[in-house]
Homo-oligomer: A and B are copies of this chain.
C-alpha cells in the first residue's frame, strides 16, 4: 500500500499526487520552503493531508533554525508558521495545524530550543497518527448510512491520499466494505485537477472496491437513471452553521442530489469545522492558475512543463478551486465524534462539547 505522507529521518516524504495514476513517485523534502511549495503545487492535497504536511513542514522549519537565542528562535518560528499558513487559503486544517504547532511552543515556555524542536517533531508525528485513527472512527460512525447494494457517488478525492491514510468520505466507504457490505462507487473525475480520475479511481482500485469513473457532467444523468443511492464527499472547511466548502463542483452535485431526493453526506474531522466562521459566505475561496483549465499536464513530463493545450491561446478563464454547499443541501455531517444533523449550528457545537 502507498503512503501519502511520512516523517522519515528528519525529512518529509510524500507521494507526488500530480503524477498519479501513471507514476508512483515519492519525493523527499528536507527544507520547509519546499514543503510549502509542495502544498501550493498540490504534490499533496486534501484538507487533512494538508494539515499533516503543514505540521511536518513547521517541524522541519523549526529543526533548521540556527540561532541559539530563544527569543530569536521564537521569532523565526513565527515566520516559518507564516510561510506555511500562506500556502493555500480555503482548507482550514492548514490553519488548525499551524495553531496546534504554535500551541506546543506557547504551552511549553520553559523548554529550551532543542527540547522545543523535539516536541514539535513529536507533535507533527502525533497529528499524523491521530488523523488515521480519526478517519477510522469516522468510517465506523458513517458506515451505518450505507446499505449493502448501495451505489455511492463521490466527488474529488477524500481518500487515503487526502489524509494521513484511510480517508474521510472514502474512509466511510472503506468501513462499509469492512462491515461486509457490497457497494459500488461512482467517481466524478473532478476537473480541472482530476482528483477523481487520477486519485480516487486509483486508490479504490488498489483496494478492490468496485469503482466506475464518470465526467463531472454525467452525475445528473446517473442520478436521473436511478443509479445513485447516496452521495458522500469530504470537506475543506465547514462553517458553524454547516455550510461546507469543498472541491469545486460539490455544490452542483448537492443541488442534483436534492432534485433527485438522494441523501448527501459530508465526512470530515472536527479539525475541518471552523466554528469561528458563521456561514459559508465568509469562507475564502482560492482562485488557482488558469493553466489548470487550459492545459492538461502530461504526467510523465510535469518537470519538463510539457502540457497539452486544450483551449485557445489567451482565453479568459475562471478557476475557483472550491465552492460552498449551503447546509440545507446536506443530510448529515459525519465526524469522528459523531453525526451532526439539522440544525447544524447546535449539532456541530455539541460535537465540540460546547
> Residues of A at under 8 Å CB distance from B?
21-22, 186, 188-192, 194, 197-198, 201-202, 205, 210-222, 224, 248-249, 251-252, 255-256, 258-259, 293-294, 296, 298-299, 308-320, 323-324
A322 CB to nearest chain B CB (Å): 9
- Once the chains are docked, how many angstroms separate the CA of A214 from the CA of B205? 30
**Contact, CB under 8 Å: A318 / B218:** yes
Q: How far is the CB of A352 from chain B (nearest CB, A)?
A: 28
Inside 8 A of A299's CB, which chain B residues have their CB?
308-310
> With a CB–CB cut-off of 8 A, which chain B residues contact A309?
21-22, 299
The reply to whether B192 and A215 contact each other, CB–CB distance below 8 Å, is yes
Interchain CB contact under 8 A, B198 and A310: yes
B296 close to A308 (CB less than 8 A): yes
> CA of A186 to CA of B314 in the docked complex: distance in angstroms?
15
A212 and B248 contacting across the interface, CB-CB below 8 Å: no
The reply to whether B201 and A312 form a contact with Cβ atoms under 8 Å apart is: yes
Nearest CB on B from A186, distance (A): 8
Provide the residues of chain B in CB contact with A310, threshold 8 Å: 189, 194, 197-198, 296, 299
A214 near B317 (CB under 8 angstroms)?
yes
* Chain B residue nearest to A309 in the complex (CB): B22
Report whether A315 and B211 are in contact in the complex, using a CB–CB cutoff of 8 Å.
Answer: yes
CB pair A212 B317 closer than 8 Å: yes
Copies of this protein chain in the complex: 2
Select A298's contact among B219, B308, B312, beta carbons within 8 Å: B308
- A248–B258 alpha-carbon span in the complex (Å): 20
Contact A191–B194 (Cβ < 8 Å): no
User: Are A255 and B220 CB-contacts (below 8 A) given A191-B191, A192-B215, A317-B213?
Assistant: yes
Pairwise interchain contact B296-A201, C-beta atoms closer than 8 A: no
Candidates B202, B216, B259; contact of A217 at CB < 8 Å: B216
CA of A309 to CA of B315 in the docked complex: distance in angstroms? 24
> Which of A219, A248, A256, A316 has its CB near the most chain B CB atoms (within 10 A)?
A316
Residue pair A221, B191 in contact (C-beta under 8 Å):
no
With A191-B189, A224-B323, A312-B21 as contacts: A215 and B248 at CB distance below 8 Å: yes
Contacts known (A217-B217, A222-B318, A318-B212); A296 close to B294, Cβ less than 8 A: no
With a cutoff of 8 Å between Cβ atoms, the chain B residues found around residue A224 in the complex are 251, 323-324
14 contacts between A and B (CB under 8 A): A189-B191, A192-B215, A197-B293, A197-B294, A197-B310, A213-B294, A213-B315, A214-B317, A214-B318, A215-B248, A216-B217, A218-B319, A219-B252, A221-B251
